Amino acid sequence: MADLGIGFAMLLEQDVPLVIGRYADLSAKQDLLDRAMTLASPTWGFSVINRADALLGVLQRNDLVVFDPDDEVAAVAYLDQYRERLLHAAARVLLLLRDDGDGVRALARAPALASFARGLTFSCGAEVSQDDAAREFQQKHGTNHDAWLERWDSGELADTLDNNLILADALAIRGSR
C-alpha cells in the first residue's frame, strides 16, 4: 500500500478519480478525514457522503468526496457496478474502508473495481518501525517479505488486488532497509 501522502497526491494531483484509504481504528479514520479536509481547500470543494446512492449526485462537482460508507460491502458493490462513471467524473473520491472490515474482503469479489483500484490504495495508521513491519508481514502471510517477493517475481502468485496490496507492503519493507 502507498503511504498517506502518496494516496492524497494521486487523488488530487493526478487524473485519478478514486483511491481507497484504509484505516485501522477510529483515530486513524479521523486523521484521514482531517487531512482530506485540509488538502481539499481552497482548490477543491469538500463533501462527505455515507450512502452509495448519494455518490452519483456529487460526481460532477469539483469536489473531494470522502465516501465513508455506512455499509462497506454495498459501497464496494456499487462502485464496482458504476466504475465507468468514475472515469468521467469531475469529483475525486476517497473511499474509506476499515482494514479488518467487510469492505476490504468485498474487494476480492469486485473485479472491475479491483482492477481499477490496483495501486490506488493506501493506509493510515500509527508509524511502525521497519523491523516491526517485517515481523508483522511474516506473521500475517506466513513468509518473509523477500521470499514473498521472489514468488511474485517468478510469476507464481496471481495478479489480484489482494496480492497487489501485499506487494506494496513487501516493497515498502524492502525499500526502507
Local mean pLDDT, 10-residue blocks, the chain (177 residues): 47 68 84 75 78 86 88 91 82 86 84 64 56 84 91 87 73 66
Same domain assignment for residues 34 and 70: yes
55 CB-near residues (< 8 Å, 6+ apart): 49, 65, 67, 78, 79, 82, 93
Same domain assignment for residues 121 and 139: no
Domain that holds residue 146: 128-177
Same domain assignment for residues 93 and 133: no
pLDDT score for 6: 46
- Name the nearest CA neighbour of 111 among 155, 77, 87: 77
Torsion of CA 173, 124, 88, 80, to 10 degrees: 80
Same domain assignment for residues 13 and 82: yes
- Name the nearest CA neighbour of 138 among 100, 166, 157: 166
The pairing of beta strand 63-67 with beta strand 121-124: unpaired
Same domain assignment for residues 110 and 70: yes
Domain count, the chain: 2
Is the pTM for the entire model greater than 0.85? no
Same domain assignment for residues 136 and 164: yes
Same domain assignment for residues 15 and 97: yes
Cβ proximity of 130 and 177 under 8 Å? yes
Q: At 56, which CATH number?
A: 3.40.50.300
